[in-house]
Structure 1
Amino acid sequence: MAGVQTAVALREQGSRHAIVLLGDEPHPPYDRPPLSKAVLLGSAGSAPVDVRFDVDFDALGVDLRLGVRAQALRTDDREVVTDAGAVRYDHLVVATGAYPVALPGTTGLPGVHLLRTLDDAAALRPVLDAKQKVVVVGAGWIGAEFATAARQAGCEVTVVESADRPLASALPAAVTAPMREWYEEAGVTLRTGMAVAQLEQGAVVLADGSRIPAEAVVVGIGARPETGWLAGSGVRLAPDGSVLADDRLRTTAPGVFAVGDCASFPSARYGERLLVHHWDNALQGPRTAAANLLGGDEPYDPVPYFWSEQFGRFVQYAGHHADGDTLVLRGDPAAPAWSACWLRGDGRLAAVLAVGRPRDLAQARKLIARSAALDPARAADPAVPLTSAVR
């Protein structure tokens, strides 16, 4: 997404530069969100879901080179070293994304799957077609989405999470504890507070010694920026492995920008550096990077946004909250539709989580963008539109 959108944005903003777009996968560029949804739920005999971007690269004058992997960057020579040879550049945009984290010692084991690429999704479709017993490791966003698809396909599903609740690293207990019931309603067994000790043939062994039968294991325990190839290049990395971009998405190397899942950037709105692993960031960032590559001076400080479809619910989140922000619930988290808002100390709306309340999400994004402050009592009333809670 980030690489394609950068090329498109450059042309839309009038660039006549020669543009080379490198991708390490053999497939034409495609959209990732459907991989954990529509692509998985297609049956072996059905037509494949078309997830390719509707972009005519020839018409754009973009030299698309597939199956070419970046291996190193020589900033002094302005060359990207690939497995197909060196590619020279005047300007470079790094958009290498992120890779899924594997359980130690499980890479290449039969029956163990990750879900990040089109090939990953294609490998999982036979698992769902055969209605296999599946163990999902990780009750985060991707784990919940895969568990949803697997249950819809008729699989027996167990989700194992080392934390005490789903989404523990992303959201507070007051918000996520009720989500346990989503798993139960869907017929998914959720085991929390339990780490995986090892994988055996046909089973997952937990830290307490218990064994869960498994014909397939799907690992969804996070992702890391795909930046190892930048070692020694002069492009500085943050401690989390992300490219250390500035607020114009420039890196520490001349003429090099970075966008999408591989790059973090300083947010003036939130007063900290953000690493956003979501689709909307890969859509918005390239527009700013393209403008600045062409001589502009545009800051990048978006209101982060993402969505997830899980267990019959449409979950949306906008903004960014910190531990010190005040949580205001709008409705009962046990109900089918509710929202949660986070307010800064001065009352400014920092973030919102909306479950089945798209109007709250749409209004909140605009309020966050203009740093609006809310009255907590009115914001807590789900019958009051958020725009009417502005003080």
Structure 2
Amino acid sequence: MAGVQTAVALRENGYGGPVTLIGAEPHQPYDRPPLSKAVLLGTGDSPAFDIDFAGLSVELRLGLEVTGLRPGARELDTPAGPVPYDVLVLATGAEPIALPGAEGAPGVHLLRTLDDAERLRPVLERRSEIVVVGAGWIGAEFATAARAAGCAVTVVEAADLPFAGVLPPEAAAPMADWYAESGAALLTRARVAGVGPGEVVLADGRRLPADAVVVGIGARPATGWLTGSGIALGPDGSVTADDRLRTSLPEVYAVGDVASFPSARYGERLLVHHWDNALQGPRTVAAQIVGESDQVYDPVPYFWSEQFGRFVQYAGHHAAADTLVRRGDPAEAAWSVVWLRDGILVALLAVGRPRDLAQGRKLIEAKARLDPERAADASVALRKAVL
């Protein structure tokens, strides 16, 4: 998404020079959200972007891995030889974290690429017994698809609740019940000790039958290939871009999952591994490249997930919030949570309440101050809770 949208945005902004899009995968550039849904279940159309790259005069070099960057020569190293550049945009995304000790083991899968999804589709078709390691977004979405396919699913999570480290317990606790409702088993406070033929062994000695194991324990920015390049990286491995998504090297930008950026809105550096960030960031990068240098990147982060028959949406960043307000009963099909800081709306989680999300996103942009009592009344439109 990030690389494709950068190329498109450059043309939309009137850039007339040559544009080359390099991708390590051999496939036509594709969208990732369908991988954990339609592609897994063999429904829907191809996830390939409906973009006329030839018509945009964008050269695609697919199946070509970039192995290094030499800024002095302004060249990229590839198995096909060096590729020169005048301006470079890093959009290498993130790579999934493998389960320690199980890398490459038979029957152990990750879900990040189209090939990953294609390998997993026949596993679902066989209605296998599947163990999912990690109850985060990928784990929940895969478990949803696997249950829809009729598989027996057990999800193993080391933390007390799903989405640990992503959502506070007050917001995550109701989501734990969704697994049992779908027929999946959720084992929390459980750690994997090993993976053997047809089973997963937990640290407490329990053995779980497993025709396949799907690992969803997080992702890290794909920046290993930048070693020795001089590109500044953060402790999380992300490219430390500035507020215009420029890197520490001249004429080199970074966008999408690979880059962190300073947010004046939230007073900290953010690393956002979600689709909307890969859609929005390229507009800022393209503006910089064509000379519109006053455009700063400081969006309200947004993402969504479809899991267990629910549409979950989140906007903002709640880390520094001091007040959590519930809207509706989490036992019901639709509810929301809003986070305030000094009375100002900074984040919102909406489950089956798209109107809350739409209004909340605008209110976060506007730094609106809310009346907590009115905000807690789910029958009151969120915009009417503004002070």
Does residue 111 of the first structure (1) align with residue 107 of the second (2)? yes
Partner of 2:89: 93
2:314 and 2:349 in contact (8 A); partners too = yes
Distance 1:181 1:107 in 2: 31
Provide the secondary structure at the position in 1 that maps to 2:142.
helix
Partner of 1:332: 329
Does residue 28 of the first structure (1) align with residue 24 of the second (2)? no
Does residue 215 of the first structure (1) align with residue 211 of the second (2)? yes
Distance 1:324 1:251 in 2: 30
Q: CA deviation at 1:232?
A: 1.2
Provide the secondary structure at the position in 1 that maps to 2:357.
helix
**Where do 1:1-391 residues align within 5 Å?**
1-42=1-42, 49-297=45-293, 298-345=295-342, 347-391=343-387
Q: Structure 1, residues 289-341: CA drift from partner, whole Å, max 9, x if none?
A: 01011112210000110000000000000011115431111011111100000
* Paired letter, 1:258: A
Distance 1:157 1:49 in 2: 26
Select between 218-227 and 322-331 the one with higher mean Cα deviation. Answer: 322-331
* Paired letter, 2:303: F
Provide the secondary structure at the position in 2 that maps to 1:197.
strand
Give TM-score scaled by structure 2 length. 0.99
Distance 2:78 2:330 in 1: 50
Q: Structure 1, residues 55-80: CA drift from partner, whole Å, max 9, x if none?
A: 11110001100001110101111111
Distance 1:67 1:179 in 2: 39
Percent identity (aligned): 69
Distance 2:166 2:151 in 1: 27
Q: Structure 1, residues 221-266: CA drift from partner, whole Å, max 9, x if none?
A: 0000001111111110011000000000000000000000000000
Provide the secondary structure at the position in 1 that maps to 2:217.
coil
Distance 2:318 2:81 in 1: 44
* Paired letter, 2:176: R
Provide the secondary structure at the position in 1 that maps to 2:35.
helix
Q: CA deviation at 1:84?
A: 1.5
Distance 1:344 1:76 in 2: 46
Distance 1:310 1:83 in 2: 40
Distance 1:324 1:330 in 2: 17
* Paired letter, 1:128: L
Q: CA deviation at 1:197?
A: 0.5
Q: CA deviation at 1:17?
A: 1.1
Distance 1:145 1:154 in 2: 15
2:327 and 2:336 in contact (8 A); partners too = yes
2:244 and 2:284 in contact (8 A); partners too = yes
Provide the secondary structure at the position in 1 that maps to 2:131.
strand
* Paired letter, 2:30: Y
Q: How large is the RMSD of aligned CA atoms in angstroms?
A: 0.9
2:133 and 2:216 in contact (8 A); partners too = yes
TM superposition outliers: structure 1 runs of 4+ over 4 Å: none
2:321 and 2:339 in contact (8 A); partners too = no
Provide the secondary structure at the position in 1 that maps to 2:339.
strand
Provide the secondary structure at the position in 2 that maps to 1:80.
strand
* Paired letter, 1:105: G
Distance 1:122 1:13 in 2: 36
Q: CA deviation at 1:107?
A: 1.8
Provide the secondary structure at the position in 2 that maps to 1:85.
coil
Distance 1:350 1:324 in 2: 7
Distance 1:114 1:25 in 2: 16
Q: Which runs of 5+ in 2 are unaligned?
A: none
Distance 1:325 1:76 in 2: 47
* Paired letter, 1:340: V
Give TM-score scaled by structure 1 length. 0.98
Aligned length: 386
* Paired letter, 1:24: A
Provide the secondary structure at the position in 2 that maps to 1:70.
coil
* Paired letter, 1:59: G
Select between 99-108 and 31-40 the one with higher mean Cα deviation. Answer: 99-108
Q: Which runs of 5+ in 1 are unaligned?
A: none
* Paired letter, 1:36: S
Q: Structure 1, residues 182-229: CA drift from partner, whole Å, max 9, x if none?
A: 001000000000110001111000010110000000000000000111
* Paired letter, 1:370: A
Distance 2:329 2:235 in 1: 38
2:135 and 2:157 in contact (8 A); partners too = yes
